[in-house]
A and B are shown apart, each in its own frame.
Chain A
Amino acid sequence: MSSSSVVQFNIQVSADLTQNVKPLLHEIKHALDNLIETGQTTIIDLRSIPLAPGEEDHILKTLGLGEVQAKLDALGLSEIIETQYAGVWVVTHYNDENHIISRFIEITTMPEILSSQTEDIMAAYSRLAITLQDDQEKN
């Protein structure tokens, strides 16, 4: 998994500087329990939590890599990664310049952005129908 830090600063920090790392990991555990019991999805926006340099990496390292690593090419790259804890996903959106614009931890069976969207399916149907019609007319 790529690091969020573009530049490495020479600042010595402990891994738990803001004291937000452990509560966040516990929040993920509770959300996972909720997913098992009720099927409810939880999304945590990592931007909304103050984290010291290195702490986000510490969280991602703890969650680790699982079986699924998907890449999405839509308005820039997006990485959708299942962590070593099934049901816990890290979704990172980049812009065209490859800078992170948002990062979420999603506790779900599958992040919605991976599913084909109804509007896109309808547009795809129209496109395919037109293509086949064109072929028929040519023949």
Chain B
Amino acid sequence: MTNDFKKKKSQKEQTFGDVMRSQGVSRRSFLKFCAATASMMAMSPAMIPKIAHALENARRPSVIWLSFQECTGCTESLTRAHTATIESLIFDHISLDYHHTLQAAAGHAAEEAREAAMEENYGKYLLVVDGSIPMGNPGYSTIAGISNYDMLMETAKGAAAIIAVGTCATYGGIPHANPNPTGAVSVNDLIKDKPIINVPGCPPIPVVITGVLTHFLTFGTIPELDHLGRPKVFYGQSIHDRCYRRPFYDKGLFAETFDDEGAKKGWCLYKLGCKGPTTYNACATTKWNNGTSWPIEAGHPCLGCSEPDFWDGGGFYKSLSMPTENITQTAIYTAAGAVAAGVAIGAMNKSKKNSAIAAHDKTTIDDLEK
């Protein structure tokens, strides 16, 4: 039976069901996979039979993965996904035709693989991007002599959809942080005529990356997105709303330092700078490191890494209720007779950029001890 399948269909023609049968995966194992997938994608368990039917018939897609100004943390996250067997099934199914870090080919051979995949699957391939794109100077980041901008625009043309993985690709991320020396921008800033799925996080949760891939495989469409282009199934609720420490917030019980009685009792970390109330991600339920824990469970406030400009939010250990700008300074600008409020804000931003360059703010031990 296995050999028959191999003979009848080329690799590209194979459905997900074919791939699994050819690997000797039983129907019962497939049901288990679908149950885990439904759970991973925050879908109702009632969807399990529908997922099974759709996945069985899903075709093998070509995937091109481009890495620009990034730290490879997103790829590290993905390749350490804790549901190893499940992810490996997905990876066995997709045709990952280009990925700097994971591919064996290098130099011209690598670029030829990208070009061949684009030509062969024009209009059908999935483009995954991690890292931001420098617009200050094309030479800031190049691959095989091609600027990040040129490679993105060329590869995006024939893509069916684009998945921007990580905060750098979705919002510019750390390269975009003040003073943004490379003029880093996001995929969304440059591409306007393709469906883009933003999967932010620094890095994103591994199963969220594979969950988006699985959704595309299962339904052939992009998932429902929020106003920032993020899949609602993973980014639909705030960390705060799903946090197991939320009852302490509601009762007004807060840890004031990292080693006081409140911290030891697991009280709310809001006053220690937790960005949970303004951060939308799946950490609270999906968790990290083999589902062991997540930052808040480990006693550290959420940094808000899946939100735009999280690096410039005014300090990781500053409570959200504390102003991030110098209020007195803003008042002076306004009182000085600026006609429009925008002028004051513009001046403030310029001043902030200059002072950030001069001071190059760093988090110190003192900050942590506040």
Contacts and interface: CB of A to CB of B under 8 A. Distances in A.
B42 interface: yes
Contact of B39 (A48, A96, A123): A48
A18 B36 contact: no
A45 B38 CA distance: 9
Q: Kindly state the interface size class of chain B when it binds its partner.
A: 35 or more
Interface of A: 6-7, 9, 11-13, 17-19, 43-45, 47-53, 55, 72, 74-76, 78, 91, 93, 95-97, 99-102, 104, 112-113, 116-120, 123, 126
A119 B46 CA distance: 21
Contacts of A123: 1
Contact of B86 (A44, A51, A101): A101
Contacts of A75: 25, 29, 32-33, 85-86, 89
A50 B27 contact: no
A7 B48 CA distance: 30
Contacts, number: 117
Contacts of A104: 35, 39, 45
A9 B264 CA distance: 11
Interface stretch (B91-99, B289-297, B312-320, B339-347): B289-297
Contact of B35 (A11, A48, A102): A102
Given A6-B290, A50-B243, A123-B1, 13 more contacts: A6-B292, A11-B264, A12-B265, A45-B45, A52-B244, A52-B245, A74-B26, A74-B32, A95-B84, A99-B290, A101-B83, A102-B39, A104-B39
Contacts of A99: 82-83, 290-291
Interface string B72-110: 000000000011111001000000000000000000000
A117 B83 CA distance: 24
Contacts of A43: 45-46, 48
A13 B268 CA distance: 12
Contacts of B86: 75, 95, 101
Nearest to B42: A48
